[in-house]
Amino acid sequence: MRKLFNKADIQINGSRPWDIQVHDSSLYANLFKKGSLAFGESYMDGLWDCEKLDELTFRIIRANLDREVSRDFRAILYFLKSKFFNQQSVNKVQEVAKKHYDVGNDLFAAMLDKRMMYSCAYWDNAETLDQAQENKLELICQKLKLLPGQRVLDIGCGWGGFAQYAAEKYKVEVVGITISKQQLQLAKERCANLPVEIRLQDYRSLNEKFDRVVSIGMFEHVGYKNYFDYMQTVRNALKDDGLFLLHTIGGNVSLTTIDPWINTYIFPNAMMPSVAQIGKSIENKFILEDWHSLGSNYDLTLMAWMDRFKHAWSQIREKYDERFYRMWIYYLSTCAASFRAKRNNLWQIVLSPPTNLKAYVSVR
């Protein structure tokens, strides 16, 4: 293990902020047996610590150390299930709502910005998380060319942040759909007295037309077996002169799974699409109008979330436990490191149906 860590300039029990501090030597055998799953689980159990966990994992990812250790039976089974079964079917997709998005509105309210946007912010000319998320919402609205009176569909509307912003600033009507009961309740409260309808609904049951469609941070839960059906559903929901904006995390290669620890503890059955997978899914359905890469912004966003989470922990800790705290810190730190190392990316993609012959001008 020392030899592996040396490749990433990491020392065991060293003095630098990114050096790993090992409290229990059973960690080493577990890492060789179970790989990244054991690394996260052992941190949750307090077997090791690190002052700058994001910097430690950044170095591990850049040196590809996570690909040099074994995967245990659970990780192999997870991979096989992703190959032979639809892990994002109507029934299976409920798992991520129950395990993650319904964990508690108090947690997300404490961690996120005032509009509770749980997706990458846009940090150009922004000093605070609130400003950066407002920037992101404004950028999306401008890319969609919103006009008063248009009807907009928000697939995976979260706690209603985009719907609220678009209805207030651009005078559009918004239908937001979510599979999370916790999100539904709070989104309805936040969007009361606005031309906004929030529904508990799966995207596959849509059967109506909209001027614009937007999906912000939801496509990661669609799954590669459903990409074609998802895009066809969006195309069917979009008027002939409409626009669709897809805001999604993306990967550099085409995979069918995500990291086993993230799958087990944070986002069950999620996966990141690749450029190739998205490209195949839109063939004969959409024209690509714009593709904007924003990955470095997610590193900043995740670190801002972590700062807010740590600051708020004393107010919310009664509902959770220490293992949950360590799990959440590990989640935010390692995800930030993945974007910093450019293994993950963030894309905003604007698509139009072939029937829309209007010239599109990209917005930055």
Q: Is 3 exposed, middle or buried (0-12, 13-18, 19+ CB in 10 A)?
A: exposed
Q: Are strands 210-216 and 238-251 parallel, antiparallel or unpaired?
A: parallel
> Which conformational region is residue 320 in: left (phi greater than 0), alpha (psi within -120 to 50 degrees), or beta?
beta
Q: Indicate if 50 belongs to the active site.
A: no
Whole-angstrom distance, CA of residue 112 vs CA of residue 302: 10
3-state secondary structure of 213: strand
Q: What tokens appear for 330 in the block?
A: 């590990």
Query: What are the beta bridge partners of residue 247?
Result: 216, 348
Q: Could you tell me which of 154, 272, 281, 153 has the C-alpha nearest to residue 229?
A: 281
H/E stretch holding 347: strand 344-352
Q: Could you tell me which of 290, 354, 302 has the C-alpha nearest to residue 142?
A: 290
Residue 9 DSSP one-character state: T
Q: Are 110 and 319 in contact (CB under 8 A)?
A: no
Phi, psi of 279 (to 5 degrees): -60, -45
Q: Please give the positions annotated as active site.
A: 335
